[in-house]
């Protein structure tokens, strides 16, 4: 049968995965931050009924897969989806679809525009070849709903709190509600220990008189997170990054660094373990913001 002529590796590149029922494939679809329009969902449903068995699977990373598409129908199904503006996803050793939480557009805790960043990352890197799979996640704040720390690269929104003495009434709420005990009161002064602070904005949101205020808004970059057989949580690359340009420059460095130094089928986090966290941080931050400070 014609099936033996199928180039499985090429198919994987565009998100078509052979099922254990070898004549059938799962069509993995492209998505950014798990957003689809009603119209797209109708089209996906239609294609799944026409070329598959009407069975759609929602992946653990906000993607959609149409299951049980016979190999003879693959091209037709793909064309029909693409005509409706639904691109194919990716699998194999390359950059996968970008996940994101709702972020500042709808969530009351959101600090950054997660969807905008996810779209940027998608346009800049989706489907690029990497030593092993490469996953990115964007989460609006340190509540970390989109699990930035379990992605190879995670972007998280954060704020650095500042304190205005003249507003403070000394209620002690901040000392009691900071989840990591980063605020202490000394002689009527409330002080932040930045080395403990996780930039979560709970103090600035809760303070009854806005004595704590967001002195700086920015991004926390996590690298080398992975689940799988040998899980590892991401490493925080540096303190709060406050410019979008610097964020994107740093991400560019990170991905090129992995492409250069990663061994074949070695996840980024495992590469970091092999080279040593300190060495990787040093290489990546060389000449950037953190280093300029005295």
Q: Which residues bind another protein (CB under 8 A)?
A: 169, 171-173, 175-177, 179, 202, 205-206, 208-209
**Residue 180 CB, nearest approach to ligand SF4 (Å):** 5
Distance CA 87, CA 250 (A): 28
**DSSP character at residue 88:** B
- Name the residue nearer to ligand HEM (CB basis): 108 or 165: 108
Who contacts 142 (Cβ-Cβ below 8 Å, separation ≥6)?
156, 157, 158, 198, 199, 200, 201, 220
**Residue 146 CB, nearest approach to ligand SF4 (Å):** 6
Where do we find the tokens 């205005």?
164
Q: Which residues pair with 98 in a beta bridge?
A: 32
Q: Rule CB under 6 A: say whether 224 interacts with ligand HEM.
A: no
**Residue 107 CB, nearest approach to another protein (Å):** 14
Contact between 290 and 281 under an 8 Å Cβ cutoff? The reply is no
Q: Rule CB under 6 A: say whether 101 interacts with ligand HEM.
A: yes
> Residues in the site for ligand SF4, rule: CB under 6 A?
101-103, 107, 109-110, 139-141, 143-146, 161, 168-174, 178, 180, 182-183, 190, 192, 197-203, 207-209, 211-212
Structure tokens at 263: 């061994």
Alpha helices, H only, 14-127? 38-51, 74-83, 114-125
Structure tokens at 93: 């050793």
The site map against ligand HEM for 108-147 (x = CB under 6 A) is xx---------------------------------x-xx-
Structure tokens at 58: 């929602």
Structure tokens at 203: 């103090």
**Residue 154 CB, nearest approach to ligand HEM (Å):** 14
Classify residue 200 by burial, with Cβ atoms within 10 Å: 0-12, 13-18, 19+.
buried
- Name the residue nearer to ligand HEM (CB basis): 92 or 214: 214
Q: Using alpha carbons only, give the angle 58, 63, 69 rounded to the nearest 5 degrees.
A: 70
E strand spans, the chain: 16-18, 24-28, 56-58, 64-70, 99-100, 136-139, 153-163, 183-186, 189-192, 212-223, 235-236
Structure tokens at 188: 């009527």
- Name the residue nearer to ligand HEM (CB basis): 48 or 149: 149
- Name the residue nearer to another protein (CB basis): 11 or 183: 183
Among ligand SF4, ligand HEM, another protein, none, residue 205 binds (CB under 5-8 Å by kind): another protein
**Residue 174 CB, nearest approach to ligand HEM (Å):** 18
- Name the residue nearer to ligand SF4 (CB basis): 13 or 119: 119
Q: Which residue is nearest to ligand SF4 (CB)?
A: 140
Strand ordering across the sheet containing 56-58: 16-18, 24-28, 64-70, 56-58
- Name the residue nearer to ligand SF4 (CB basis): 68 or 212: 212
The site map against ligand HEM for 32-71 (x = CB under 6 A) is --x-------------------------------------
- Name the residue nearer to ligand HEM (CB basis): 31 or 77: 31
Q: Which residues bind ligand HEM (CB under 6 A)?
A: 34, 101-102, 107-109, 143, 145-146
């Amino acid at each position: 049968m014609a099936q033996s002529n199928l180039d499985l590796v090429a198919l994987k590149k565009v998100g078509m995965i052979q099922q254990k029922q070898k004549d059938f494939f799962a069509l993995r679809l492209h998505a950014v931050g798990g957003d689809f329009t009603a119209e797209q969902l109708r089209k996906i449903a239609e294609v799944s009924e026409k070329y598959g068995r009407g069975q759609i699977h929602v992946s653990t990373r906000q993607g959609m897969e149409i299951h049980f598409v016979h190999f003879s129908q693959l091209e037709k199904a793909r064309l029909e989806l693409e005509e409706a503006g639904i691109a194919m996803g990716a699998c194999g050793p390359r950059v996968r679809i970008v996940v994101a939480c709702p972020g500042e557009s709808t969530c009351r805790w959101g600090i950054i525009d997660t969807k905008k960043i996810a779209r940027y990352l998608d346009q800049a890197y989706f489907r690029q070849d990497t030593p092993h799979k490469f996953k990115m996640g964007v989460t609006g704040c340190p509540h970390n709903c989109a699990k930035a720390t379990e992605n190879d690269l995670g972007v998280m929104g954060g704020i650095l709190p500042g304190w205005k003495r003249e507003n403070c009434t000394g209620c002690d709420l901040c000392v009691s509600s900071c989840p990591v005990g980063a605020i202490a009161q000394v002689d009527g002064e409330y002080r932040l220990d930045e080395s403990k602070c996780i930039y979560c904005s709970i103090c600035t949101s809760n303070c009854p008189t806005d004595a704590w205020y967001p002195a700086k808004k920015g991004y926390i970059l996590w690298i080398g997170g992975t689940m799988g057989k040998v899980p590892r949580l991401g490493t925080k690359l540096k303190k709060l990054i406050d410019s979008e340009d610097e964020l994107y420059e740093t991400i560019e460095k990170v991905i090129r660094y992995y492409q250069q130094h990663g061994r074949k089928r070695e996840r980024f986090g495992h590469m970091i373990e092999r080279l040593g966290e300190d060495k990787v941080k040093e290489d990546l931050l060389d000449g950037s913001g953190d280093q300029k400070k005295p």
